[in-house]
Amino acid sequence: MGSLGPYQRKHKVSVVGSGNWGTAIAKIVAENAAENSDVFDKQVEMWVFEEKVEIGKDSPHYDASVSGPQNLTDVINRVHENIKYLPGVSLPTNLHANPSIEDAVKDATILVFNLPHQFILKTCQQIQGKILPYARGISCIKGVDVSEEGVSLFSERIGKTLGIYCGALSGANIANEVAREKWSETSIAYDPPHMDSKAATPQRSPTSSQVDLVQFQHRDTSGEISKVKLQALPSDYPPINHDILKTLFHRPYFHVRVVNDVAGVSISGALKNVVAIAAGWVEGMGWGDNAKAAVMRVGLMEMVRFGDKFFGATIDQRTFTEESAGVADLITSCSGGRNHRCAKLSVERNQPIEEIEQSELNGQKLQGTLTAVEVNSFLKKQGLEEDFPLFTAVYRILKGQMKVAEIPSYIER
């Protein structure tokens, strides 16, 4: 990407998280960092929560000179494979597994967050004040937190905690397929306050060129206004913009479209699970492909309406109807996802979905049922249940207050 121009410094990329999806994304950004060494530091750091692993004698990675349990990071750096969370996939040699989160992030200008959502806040607190103040983030964590009070995006929570701007990546992606380079698409949303370029904004301090600060306001759906002070990227780095993010994430097998709508990309990833539950029920009823497509269409429209109602001007409804994070992820989730599958089985076996969850998911919880309950508590408080008949129907069916057979008449209008 010579078109990005000659800058004195290169971007250092760190991936925070090394699970299934974290490692798959780390593989991608390391491949691109290696191929675009004019813009990126070749070595990409991946923070790995250290643990001990055993390598059996029948493994191709068995090394007779090493006995007993080994550190996962050492194994990754020696065999270039995350044998625990992404076995069977070769990783680029320029991807470095780092057991120290502080060391992994300290020089990074681009931080990629990809870990289970329950660990985000704690992890961010751990590195507060220990990152470059002008770093930028991309959150690959799916979904949002919905409560009675409002909707909170993981990207925003990361940004607020660290005092940086953080965008989001979400799409119709299954980690194992992406890691095996099966073709898919994704959406990246990135729309920081205007400050990276030389074009001064009114809030930009004209006197300090190295430490430009922009104070921007964010109002979340609960009405809370937070002020975040954002530090400009020094001008000897290539600007972090849509082009550079595409350079970092796009692969021949992983097509990236970069948009501005962080809220849309994030809430799609949560709400589609609620629609997938409904689609699974309808399929379980044996009503045919048209009925399933109808419930998906109605769900898509409620996703649009939800975004429009609670994020207003900042949302672009085309995120839902045209991007991978929207319509494509919805289609995937309503074809083979676990929410869809468990809902379908619950109708076919005439069992509550909780029982299916227990028997099919090994104690894991469905995201769709949790989100349906959270979304309903929020809608109820706003007096808006009737404006979202499908979301409301899903909630009521989960609570035993309605039957799946009533969906068509309930959403009829």
Catalytic residues: 272
Q: Which of 95, 135, 304, 372 binds a copy of itself (CB under 8 A)?
A: 304
- Which strand (E) or helix (H) includes residue 216? strand 213-219
Token output for 275: 């629609």
Based on the shown chain and the rule CB under 8 A, indicate whether residue 324 belongs to the binding site for a copy of itself.
yes
Based on the shown chain and the rule CB under 8 A, indicate whether residue 118 belongs to the binding site for a copy of itself.
no
| Site residue total, a copy of itself (CB under 8 A) | 42
Based on the shown chain and the rule CB under 8 A, indicate whether residue 291 belongs to the binding site for a copy of itself.
yes
**Site residues (CB under 8 A) for a copy of itself, limited to 248-277:** 252-253, 255
Q: Which is nearer to a copy of itself, 16 or 248 (CB)?
A: 248
Q: Which of 292, 338, 341, 344 binds a copy of itself (CB under 8 A)?
A: 292
Give buried/exposed letters for 248-262 (b at 16+ CB in 10 A, else e).
bbbbeebebbbbbbb
Q: How many CA atoms lie within 13 A of 410 on its CB side?
A: 22
* Residues 43/32, Cβ–Cβ less than 8 Å: no
Q: How many CA atoms lie within 13 A of 405 on its CB side?
A: 1
Rounded to the nearest 5 degrees, what angle is found at the Cα of 239, between the Cα atoms of 238 and 241?
130
Q: How far is 7 from 41, CA to CA, in rounded Å? A: 12
Q: Which of 115, 132, 138, 172 binds a copy of itself (CB under 8 A)?
A: 172
Does 47 appear as a known binding residue?
no
Q: Which is nearer to a copy of itself, 293 or 373 (CB)?
A: 293
Q: End-to-end CA distance of the chain, in Å?
A: 52
Does 142 appear as a known binding residue?
yes
Q: Which is nearer to a copy of itself, 196 or 283 (CB)?
A: 283
User: Minimum CB separation from a copy of itself for residue 314, in Å?
Assistant: 20
* CB within 8 Å of 394: residues ≥ 6 apart: 274, 277, 278, 368, 372
Q: Which of 70, 235, 321, 382 binds a copy of itself (CB under 8 A)?
A: 321
User: Minimum CB separation from a copy of itself for residue 401, in Å?
Assistant: 20
DSSP category for residue 211: S
* Residues 97/16, Cβ–Cβ less than 8 Å: no
Q: How far is 156 from 220, CA to CA, in rounded Å? A: 9
Q: Which is nearer to a copy of itself, 289 or 386 (CB)?
A: 289
CA-wise closest residue to 233 among 224, 244, 247: 244
Based on the shown chain and the rule CB under 8 A, indicate whether residue 300 belongs to the binding site for a copy of itself.
yes
Q: Which is nearer to a copy of itself, 53 or 301 (CB)?
A: 301
Q: Which of 301, 370, 384, 402 binds a copy of itself (CB under 8 A)?
A: 301
CA-wise closest residue to 53 among 27, 79, 92: 79
Based on the shown chain and the rule CB under 8 A, indicate whether residue 290 belongs to the binding site for a copy of itself.
yes
User: Minimum CB separation from a copy of itself for residue 240, in Å?
Assistant: 22
* Residues 344/284, Cβ–Cβ less than 8 Å: yes
Q: Which of 173, 231, 367, 369 binds a copy of itself (CB under 8 A)?
A: 173
Residues making contact with a copy of itself (CB under 8 A): 171-174, 177-178, 182-185, 252-253, 255, 287-294, 296-298, 300-301, 304, 318, 321-324, 327-329, 331-332, 335-336, 408-409, 412
Give the annotated binding-site residues for NAD(+).
17-22, 49, 119, 175, 338, 365, 367
